[in-house]
Amino acid sequence: MSLEALLFIPTAFSKRSRQEVLNQCYVTGIKSLAVISVVAAFTGMILALQTGLELRRFGLQQNIGTAVTVVMLREMGPFMTALIIAASVGSAIAAQVGTMVVSEEVSALEIMSINPVRFIVMPRLFALALMMPLLAVYTNILGILGGAVVGATQLQVSFQAYFDNARLYAENKDLYVGLVKAFVFGVVIATTACHQGFSASEGAVGVGQATRRTVIISFLVILVLGYMLTRVFYR
């Protein structure tokens, strides 16, 4: 299904698909910003506090800039973003597609010779694959800023020292790897949600089960793939 949807990606900005693609980008990106902002800031703050308290025992708390930045870029930025998007957007997609299946909307599309994969899957896949890396960048920025605030207020590490330290050790590769992960997670979430939605049957119960399976499967695949990608890029 994902492969078929990928074949339709070149038509994403055609007249008949443009509106739905932009709508999905808005739902995935803009509507998720509030919850992502809170989670991102607190992730950075927790990271800074936990590592900072340990490092302070050795007088090395000025290194929290590097610790927070590297961990956010490589792992926590894309990972936390993916979990939030899987739980909010992924579950919503599964519920919507599942409802469309049980209320015969998908059958109606087939009768009208409208390919449900192009009409339903492609805009969601495109939006998640595009918006996930952008959201991961946003999560990274807020997480790193959150860490800086904790450093300045609780660990006596000035903003200047925090960011100087971060620039010293964080590499561009850390950012790129995080973006690749975010892209892959976006594809995973969209594919899982659409597949589960299309598999829904037996009315509201089936839609509920599809939604639940989407969140569980997405979480597990994100965890496992996250580990495997880290292994590939950091041997």
Partner 1 sequence: MIRFEKVTKRLGRRNVLDELDMEIRPGETFVICGPSGMGKSVTLKHMVRLLTPDKGRVWVGDACVSEARGRDLEKIRSRFGVLFQGGALLQWLTAGENVALPLREHTQMSDEEIEALVREKLRLVELEDAYDKAPSDLSGGMRKRVALARAIITQPEIILYDEPTSGLDPVTSRTIDTLIDNLRRQLGVTSVVVTHDLHSALAIGSRIAMLHNGKVVEVSAPDEFIKSDNEVVRGFLDAQYITRRGHWEEEPTK
Closer of 100 and 182 to partner 1 (Cβ)? 100
Integer Cα distance of 187 and 85 in angstroms: 11
Q: How far is CA 50 from the centre of its chain?
A: 24
Report how far apart the first and last C-alpha atoms of the chain are (Å, whole number): 33
Shortest reach from residue 164's CB to partner 1, in Å: 49
Cα–Cα distance, 75 to 44 (Å, whole number): 12
Out of 30, 38, 107, 234, the residue judged to bind partner 1 by CB under 8 A: 107
Residues 121, 77, 98: CA angle, nearest 5 degrees: 25
Q: Report if residue 171 touches partner 1, rule: CB under 8 A.
A: no
Burial class (CB in 10 A: 0-12, 13-18, 19+), 168: exposed
Shortest separation between residue 12's beta carbon and partner 1, angstroms: 15
Select from 76-84, 104-112, 166-174, 190-198 the region that touches partner 1 (CB under 8 A). Answer: 104-112
The verdict on 167 binding partner 1 (CB under 8 A) reads no
| Residue 52: alpha-carbon gap to chain centroid | 27
Q: Which residue has the tokens 């409802």?
A: 99
Residue with tokens 């950012």: 175
Query: Smallest distance from the beta carbon of 119 to partner 1, in angstroms?
Result: 8
Is residue 230 classed exposed, middle or buried when 0-12, 13-18 and 19+ CB atoms within 10 A define those classes?
middle
Tell me the number of residues near partner 1 by CB under 8 A: 15
Q: Is 104 in the site for partner 1 (CB under 8 A)?
A: yes
**Residues 10, 58, 113, 235: which binds partner 1 (CB under 8 A)?**
113
Cite the DSSP H helix spans in the chain. 2-7, 15-25, 33-56, 64-71, 77-85, 91-102, 105-111, 116, 122-154, 159-169, 172-198, 203-233
Q: Considering only residues 195-224, where is the footprint of partner 1 by CB under 8 A? A: none
Binding mask 8-27 for partner 1 (x = CB under 8 A): -------xx------x----
The yes or no reply on residue 121 touching partner 1 (CB under 8 A) is no
Per CB under 8 A, does 100 bind partner 1? yes
Q: Considering the complex, state which of residue 168 and residue 203 has its C-beta at the smaller distance from partner 1.
A: 203
Among 7, 33, 60, 108, binds partner 1 (CB under 8 A): 108
Among 18, 31, 103, 160, binds partner 1 (CB under 8 A): 103
Which residues contribute to the site for partner 1 (CB under 8 A)? Answer: 15-16, 23, 99-100, 103-105, 107-108, 110-114
